[in-house]
A and B are shown apart, each in its own frame.
Chain A
Amino acid sequence: MYGFEALTFNIHGGYLEAIVRGHRASLLTAADYNNLCQCETLDDIKMHLSATEYGPYLQNEPSPLHTTTIVEKCTLKLVDEYKNMLCQATEPLSTFLEYITYGHMIDNVVLIVTGTLHERDVQELLEKCHPLGMFDSIATLAVAQNMRELYRLVLVDTPLAPYFSECITSEDLDDMNIEIMRNTLYKAYLEDFYRFCQKLGGATAEIMSDLLAFEADRRAVNITINSIGTELTRDDRRKLYSNFGLLYPYGHEELAICEDIDQVRGAMEKYPPYQSIFAKLSYGEGQMLDKAFYEEEVKRLCLAFEQQFHYAVFFAYMRLREQEIRNLMWISECVAQNQKSRVHDSVVFIF
């Protein structure tokens, strides 16, 4: 019932929307970032953050701080907020919220599998996993030798199971096909999420399809750039692109045959929304592309808050917080390693 959400949305979603908008108000502002960038030590950062909502999470940390502690505690705050919202949510919002975490789940699975392939300690790997993407038997992933086992042993119990249908092979795992698995899973996940949002309809579908399409296109570009010069065939590459988004289907054809970054640029500049992103980059440069994409994403995520009565605000909030934590991590790293000149390289201001 597009346009009539206002009538019924608040019955179940009103409280949580209010909560999430309240959370959004506590995101760090450009002024905060400016102050943070001037910090000399990690303690200064802690001191500054103690005036924000991160305060209670950092106040009991003993003084020689590490970047990891800061990031861990900030993530903990996000996780607490997420869990709180999930507890309060009813269908279909709860499913929507769960969808948000699947991306982390895929990353965690890949992390563990790659780690065990390189004979790392499982416990150590578990600590590196994103807490939002944890599931019960995640540690058991280490047992699996190939994808079929991976699926049969562990992932069949997780929400990721349906996404696996395309990548069950009996080949032994190696770096290459793990990466392919990640992208296949991600593709399936994005498509599923997209379908789910379409099913929800209304403003949620409208805004989410825009956000997810952007995500899908960004992944397509990244896949293309990362696969240049590898043994991945064009068809295989083509198969990893999600079947929606602005680039689908003609842009994909063009991306699939790209051989260097300037060709990617040529393919992308045909799409007005991406023109501005590539216009900022000089030719042959791929380094700043990530930041440019992040900036564009943040802009779109912020716009999601301009409309009311839809679920995309939850997605946007989680993404913005993650970006904020990435920023904090970067700033802390720069401060810790005395590289303050590079602080602005990767920080994306949110407001």
Chain B
Amino acid sequence: MGGCCPPMDLLRSEPMQLVQLIVPIESAHLTVSYLGDLGLLQFKDLNADKSPFQRTYAAQIKKCGEMARKLRFFKDQMMKAGLTPSIKSISQVDINVDDLEIKLVELEAELVELNANGEKLQRAYSELMESKIVLQKVGEFFHAAQSRATARHREIESQSTGEESINTPLLRDQEMASDPSKQIKLGFLCGLVPRDKSIAFERILFRATRGNVFLRQVEVEEPVIDPASGEKVEKNVFLVFYSGERAKNKILKICEAFGANRYSFDEDLGRQTQVISEVTQSLTELKTTIDAGLLHRGNLLQTIGDQFEQWNQLVRKEKAIYHTLNMLSLDVTKKCLVGEGWCPVFAIKQIQEVLQRAAIDSNAQVGAIIQVLHTKEMPPTFFRTNKFTSAFQEIVDAYGVARYQEANPGVYTIITFPFLFAVMFGDWGHGICLLLATLVFVLREKKLSGQKLGDITEMIFGGRYVILMMALFSIYTGLIYNEFFSVPFELFGPSAYACRDLDCKDAGTVGLIKVRDAYAFGVDPVWHGTRTELPFLNSLKMKLSILLGVAQMNLGIILSYFNANFFKNGLNIWFQFIPQMIFLNSLFGYLSLLIIVKWWTGSQADLYHIMIYMFLGPTEDLGENRLFPGQDRLQQVLLLLALVSVPWMLLPKPFLLKKQHEERHQGHSYAQLEITDESFFQLEQSHDSHGHEEFQFGEVFVHQLIHTIEFVLGAVSNTASYLRLWALSLAHSELSSVFYEKVLLLAWGFNNVIILVIGIIVFIAATVGVLLVMETLSAFLHALRLHWVEFQNKFYEGDGYKFFPFSFVLLGDEDE
């Protein structure tokens, strides 16, 4: 920690170490399981070159996959049956994995059998159902045809009784009387065809038989359950009359091709009714059988559902354990597993305990061995966050995970982020709305954290403490800006100004005189609505923005000093931190000084003019813009310093790096002669791991050049970038005053209740939609940018990787 400051956990990531575990093979499973419960060790994959099925525990993983598949099958079945697996896992019995496997196999077999039986019954049932429909529809058709035919017949007869018409076929009698062999035999087929195929069906029938069929189709009103697929399909009843055996064969084939189910039908009316009653009877019988089967199946699924969560958890854990075990490499003797992993230094005691416990519990003859390895590899970054700090750390991590032990901007983000947000969102009315909304989440967090929330709600819930801080700071800045839904209040005593005479009401600031001491806190409410309100507030907020920006950028550069100091990198202190500090402060630090002096003295000097002519004519007289004595000389010195600091940043560092590199290599060639055996070995190791990288001067120099240019230009553009604080704050207050004046006050002016109600509704909708949601989002994003770009680029490398321990808690729903 450098020794100077008290330990600050969040500033530096936890010290980590690489440990080697040697676990006897018989206790490996239990050990890994306990380590998963502890969740403080990140295993390294030692078998990265092996494909998944060549690893030691591939068979067990396959087994787990199989069990997971069965569980998915159960879940699927439960979903279909409309059951939900009970969330509360009844942890009655600790079930063994092997037992579970057997149990799952049994249950699956049972369920599959039940399903098959049920399906068979269902199929028979739907077939009967279809045949019943066919019987009804076709019966209706025949009946109608018959009655029509008799009617026609009667008509013809009634006609023919009168006189012999020309239409009466002459040969009728003969034809009727002719031998039955000559009579054309009309056969018919009937059945059901899916409605969407019915047209094509008809067309093909027509084509195949060259039109020598008579086809009737009737729509079945209700969708029918298809026996083959078990799904509800809309169908038509069809009835085909054909002549001849060949046609019949063709029609049969076509029916088959179209998935049209045929059913037998008897022309005889008596038989028909008999068949219908038979069908109805067997339908009711089947129905009771099916219901009994369904009940049985439901019970089975219910029992599965009660324990589903527990089983699922177990299988998932098991799978994770074997995946982890696969990362360990098998010892040559095949008696123990060797694993490597990262763990925080503080956790080593706990891990040792866990290993001991595992060894005892598994009755292993030898305990597991843990030893610390020394390595040049960069350890993972691990911050111990709590529920409050984690959201802020997320904001930083979204940009890049901190390099191991580098200064963590997350610490400062906790305050600066909500503060910069609030500078843009300053309105204590809106702040209170935001506070109330987020309090709902904060107060009910116990309840909410358990359940699944929607996508966006989850995001808001995750950032509830960020929003809480944002709301609190908004109230604070809102009080400073003295805005409550854009209305000023005289909260901290009366305004310091009053009218000189009675008629100055609309005159703005002209007729006002100061009557009391300055307004105690924030902006004097008298500014509101005056002509000079905007120029005054703009000037105030702009200057505030620059002050805040310069302060934050300075903090960033100072953090780069902490980093350099921590990593013992003198070069970065002398040739990066110091010139950067000088450059920034001699220009913009000086500007900040001028702003403060101007406020202090109430001078009317033009700061633009001063800054611009500091560059254009450093020797020119300042004239009336002089703020303090000696300013001319100071400016010249500062300008000189700024100019000097640029080559200071650029040139020495690459050359010194080159020199260092050369020295290191020379040192090695001499040093090797004198050292003893053990230290020689160590040196060799360290030498191997970091020595031989090429030093490319050109690359380093160009890198430094880019870095310098970025900083110099960035100092200007970043300072300008902080003006967004003013711009967004202006936009926010203007928008809210527009909504207040043009909607609420306008509606009020009509003296009409309906208009007032409409006005209030519009005002609330606009306030919530535009000011509370959209403005929050935009201010959030701008605050995010100011942190990621303007603040963090001064010191933050962000090229680390996160510590991701093997833990059952983190396992969660990730493989869903």
Does B253 contact A143, Cβ atoms closer than 8 Å?
yes
Partner-contacting stretch, out of A40-48, A170-178, A245-253? A40-48
Q: Judge if B500 is at the interface, Cβ distance under 8 Å.
A: no
Q: Judge if A35 is at the interface, Cβ distance under 8 Å.
A: yes
Does A152 contact B53, Cβ atoms closer than 8 Å?
no
Nearest CB to that of B59 among chain A residues? A43
Does A35 contact B51, Cβ atoms closer than 8 Å?
yes
Question: Main SS of chain A's interface residues?
Answer: helix
Does B208 contact A153, Cβ atoms closer than 8 Å?
yes
Report the Cα distance A334→B257, complex, angstroms: 35
A62 CB to closest chain B CB (Å) equals: 7
Residues facing B in A28-59 (CB within 8 A) are 35, 38-40, 43-44, 47-48, 50-51, 59
Residues facing B in A129-151 (CB within 8 A) are 136-143
Report the Cα distance A12→B523, complex, angstroms: 56
Q: Judge if B197 is at the interface, Cβ distance under 8 Å.
A: yes
CB neighbours (8 Å) of A142 from chain B are: 253, 257
Q: Judge if A302 is at the interface, Cβ distance under 8 Å.
A: no
A74 CB to closest chain B CB (Å) equals: 18
Q: Mark A44-88, 1 if CB is under 8 A from B, else 0.
A: 100110110000000111110000000000000000000000000
B198 CB to closest chain A CB (Å) equals: 12
Report the Cα distance A59→B204, complex, angstroms: 41
Q: How many residues of B contact A (CB 8 A)?
A: 24
CB neighbours (8 Å) of A62 from chain B are: 66, 69
Report the Cα distance A143→B253, complex, angstroms: 6
Does A143 contact B51, Cβ atoms closer than 8 Å?
no
Does B257 contact A139, Cβ atoms closer than 8 Å?
yes
Q: Judge if B73 is at the interface, Cβ distance under 8 Å.
A: yes
Does B197 contact A153, Cβ atoms closer than 8 Å?
no
Q: Judge if A288 is at the interface, Cβ distance under 8 Å.
A: no
Report the Cα distance A48→B61, complex, angstroms: 12
Does A44 contact B257, Cβ atoms closer than 8 Å?
no
Q: Mark A1-43, 1 if CB is under 8 A from B, else 0.
A: 0000000000000000000000000000000000100111001
Does B51 contact A122, Cβ atoms closer than 8 Å?
no
Report the Cα distance A142→B258, complex, angstroms: 12
Complex partner residue of B258 from A61, A140, A141, A157, CB under 8 angstroms: A140
Nearest CB to that of A32 among chain B residues? B51
Report the Cα distance A47→B68, complex, angstroms: 14
Does A140 contact B62, Cβ atoms closer than 8 Å?
no
Residues facing A in B39-68 (CB within 8 A) are 51-54, 58, 61-62, 65-66
Report the Cα distance A122→B61, complex, angstroms: 41
A80 CB to closest chain B CB (Å) equals: 19
Does B66 contact A63, Cβ atoms closer than 8 Å?
yes
Q: Mark A193-213, 1 if CB is under 8 A from B, else 0.
A: 000000000000000000000
Nearest CB to that of B72 among chain A residues? A60
Does A152 contact B58, Cβ atoms closer than 8 Å?
no
Report the Cα distance A348→B815, complex, angstroms: 33
Report the Cα distance A142→B486, complex, angstroms: 81
B72 CB to closest chain A CB (Å) equals: 6
Does A43 contact B62, Cβ atoms closer than 8 Å?
yes
Q: Judge if A89 is at the interface, Cβ distance under 8 Å.
A: no
Q: Judge if A154 is at the interface, Cβ distance under 8 Å.
A: yes
Complex partner residue of A48 from B52, B207, B250, CB under 8 angstroms: B52
Report the Cα distance A61→B73, complex, angstroms: 10
CB neighbours (8 Å) of A47 from chain B are: 52-53, 58, 61-62, 65
Q: Mark B199-227, 1 if CB is under 8 A from A, else 0.
A: 01001100110000000000000000000
Q: Judge if B157 is at the interface, Cβ distance under 8 Å.
A: no
Residues A137 and B72 in contact in the complex (CB < 8 Å), given A44-B53, A143-B250: no
CB neighbours (8 Å) of A51 from chain B are: 52
Report the Cα distance A61→B69, complex, angstroms: 8
Does A48 contact B51, Cβ atoms closer than 8 Å?
yes
Report the Cα distance A136→B69, complex, angstroms: 34
Q: Judge if B512 is at the interface, Cβ distance under 8 Å.
A: no
CB neighbours (8 Å) of B62 from chain A are: 43, 47, 63
CB neighbours (8 Å) of B267 from chain A are: none
Residues facing A in B56-111 (CB within 8 A) are 58, 61-62, 65-66, 69, 72-73
B175 CB to closest chain A CB (Å) equals: 34
Nearest CB to that of B66 among chain A residues? A63
Residues facing A in B243-291 (CB within 8 A) are 250, 253-254, 256-258
Nearest CB to that of A152 among chain B residues? B207
| A40, A61, A154, most chain B CB atoms within 10 A | A154
Does B52 contact A137, Cβ atoms closer than 8 Å?
no
Does A122 contact B54, Cβ atoms closer than 8 Å?
no
CB neighbours (8 Å) of B197 from chain A are: 136
CB neighbours (8 Å) of A48 from chain B are: 51-53
Does A153 contact B204, Cβ atoms closer than 8 Å?
yes
CB neighbours (8 Å) of A138 from chain B are: 257
Residues facing A in B350-386 (CB within 8 A) are none
CB neighbours (8 Å) of B200 from chain A are: 136-137, 157
Nearest CB to that of A39 among chain B residues? B53
B459 CB to closest chain A CB (Å) equals: 26
CB neighbours (8 Å) of A143 from chain B are: 208, 250, 253-254, 257
B238 CB to closest chain A CB (Å) equals: 15
CB neighbours (8 Å) of A153 from chain B are: 204, 207-208
A27 CB to closest chain B CB (Å) equals: 18
Does B51 contact A38, Cβ atoms closer than 8 Å?
yes
Report the Cα distance A280→B257, complex, angstroms: 47
Q: Mark B496-511, 1 if CB is under 8 A from A, else 0.
A: 0000000000000000
CB neighbours (8 Å) of A157 from chain B are: 200, 203
CB neighbours (8 Å) of A63 from chain B are: 62, 66
Nearest CB to that of A34 among chain B residues? B51
Nearest CB to that of A35 among chain B residues? B51
A285 CB to closest chain B CB (Å) equals: 34
B790 CB to closest chain A CB (Å) equals: 34
B408 CB to closest chain A CB (Å) equals: 35
Report the Cα distance A39→B53, complex, angstroms: 8
CB neighbours (8 Å) of B72 from chain A are: 59-60
Does A139 contact B66, Cβ atoms closer than 8 Å?
no
Residues facing A in B469-486 (CB within 8 A) are none
A70 CB to closest chain B CB (Å) equals: 15
Does A60 contact B73, Cβ atoms closer than 8 Å?
yes
Complex partner residue of B204 from A40, A60, A154, CB under 8 angstroms: A154
CB neighbours (8 Å) of A139 from chain B are: 256-258
Report the Cα distance A51→B53, complex, angstroms: 11
Report the Cα distance A138→B258, complex, angstroms: 9
CB neighbours (8 Å) of B207 from chain A are: 152-153
| A47, A51, A61, A157, most chain B CB atoms within 10 A | A47
Q: Mark A150-175, 1 if CB is under 8 A from B, else 0.
A: 00111001000000000000000000
Report the Cα distance A39→B58, complex, angstroms: 12
Report the Cα distance A40→B53, complex, angstroms: 9
Report the Cα distance A124→B208, complex, angstroms: 23
B609 CB to closest chain A CB (Å) equals: 51
CB neighbours (8 Å) of B51 from chain A are: 35, 38, 48
A151 CB to closest chain B CB (Å) equals: 11
B247 CB to closest chain A CB (Å) equals: 11
Q: Mark A104-136, 1 if CB is under 8 A from B, else 0.
A: 000000000000000000100000000000001
Does B204 contact A137, Cβ atoms closer than 8 Å?
yes
| A35, A137, A141, most chain B CB atoms within 10 A | A137
A190 CB to closest chain B CB (Å) equals: 28
Report the Cα distance A60→B76, complex, angstroms: 11
| A39, A44, A152, most chain B CB atoms within 10 A | A44
10 contacts between A and B (CB under 8 A): A38-B51, A40-B53, A44-B53, A47-B61, A47-B62, A48-B51, A63-B66, A122-B253, A140-B204, A143-B257
Closest 3 CB pairs of A and B: A139-B257, A35-B51, A44-B53
The interface of chain A, by Cβ under 8 A from chain B, is: 35, 38-40, 43-44, 47-48, 50-51, 59-63, 122, 136-143, 152-154, 157
A48-B53, A139-B257 are known; give 12 further A-B pairs, CB within 8 A.
A35-B51, A48-B51, A50-B65, A51-B52, A60-B72, A62-B66, A136-B197, A137-B257, A140-B258, A141-B257, A152-B207, A153-B207
